[in-house]
Structure 1
Amino acid sequence: MNISPFHVWAIVRFLPDMQRVVVNRFRRRSDAEECLRVLRRAATGRDYTLLYYPPGEEATFMVRKEYNKLVRDRIPEILTSQQVKFGVEPMTQTQYCQALRQKLIEEAQEAAEAGEDNLITELADLWEVIDATLAAYGIQRNQVLACQMQRRIERGAFSRKLRLLWTED
């Protein structure tokens, strides 16, 4: 693509290790926003954002990425060791419980999309969030296991690998 001084709007895709790649540049913000909407619909698992990003500033331009989500306790230490600037703040108990529920969804989605080589890691992450949720709500693991057994007796497990195709009312 020919990049002129007028292509100042860029769609950027974030990669691991704080890397980013410019996907496309645009003269008009409206064009960039429309392309971004299409990209987000087509590639839901990818992280794209729109930036004012003039040519020649790639080396010095710093990107602030907003997260506003629960992270593990050692993340600030890891970011500091990588010389990454960041901001954190403690949550109230109510905010923490709500963030844990959001994290359950996030980790379950990652486990559902994981390949076989990464499934154990994603399940371990999910289990960590489940343990934190149990602790936050004062629930004992044996209470959950007892409830699981009761539901297994009432509704069965998944050992028969059944798929429900249809019902009639």
Structure 2
Amino acid sequence: MPVYNKLVRDLIPQIIEKSGSKFTTRILHSSEHLIEIKKKLEEEVHEYQETTNSQEALEELADILELIHAALPIHEATFEDLEKIRVAKKEKRGGFEQGIYLVEVDDE
């Protein structure tokens, strides 16, 4: 039996059960949950970097967004709270739409 030891989506146990396989799960404490969300986020970002077409990219971005939604309650925040912070940072420092690539700064 393969051992995964990783955070999975909430419906994965039911999907495994319907396939007739046996499995073991446990519910993570909030501190463990955040650690595993961070690990899963790193995994999904890597998968996004490996995509070769827009559909694959959107699938991975959706996974990243789902992990962000999962992390927010742990930080006692809502998506609206996060969006306010994003907008404020964008108004102050801009976004990333223009593709500006900083090469160097001469501090003299």
1:93 paired residue number? 30
Compare relative contact order (CA 8 Å, sep 6+) and give the higher one, 1 or 2: 2
The superposition leaves residues 55-103 of structure 1 with CA deviations (integer Å, 9 ceiling, x where unpaired) of xxxxxxxxx3222111111111111222233221111121112111212
Counterparts of residues 1-169 of structure 1 (less than 5 Å): 64-115=1-52, 116-169=54-107
Moved more, 153-162 or 67-76: 153-162
Q: Which has the higher helix share?
A: 2
Q: Which has the higher strand share?
A: 1
Task: List alignment gaps of at least 5 residues for structure 2.
Answer: none
Alignment length (residue pairs): 106
TM-score, scaled relative to structure 2? 0.83
- Determine which structure has more spread, i.e. the larger CA radius of gyration: 1
Partner SS for 1:118: helix
Following superposition, which runs of at least 4 residues in structure 1 exceed 4 angstroms of deviation? none
User: Structure 1: how far apart are the matches of 2:58 and 2:35?
Assistant: 25
Give the residue type in structure 2 aligned to 1:149: V
Aligned-CA RMSD value: 1.7
The alpha carbon displacement at 1:139 in A equals 0.5
Percent identity reads: 29
User: Structure 2: how far apart are the matches of 1:67 and 1:126?
Assistant: 20
TM-score, scaled relative to structure 1? 0.56
The alpha carbon displacement at 1:129 in A equals 0.8
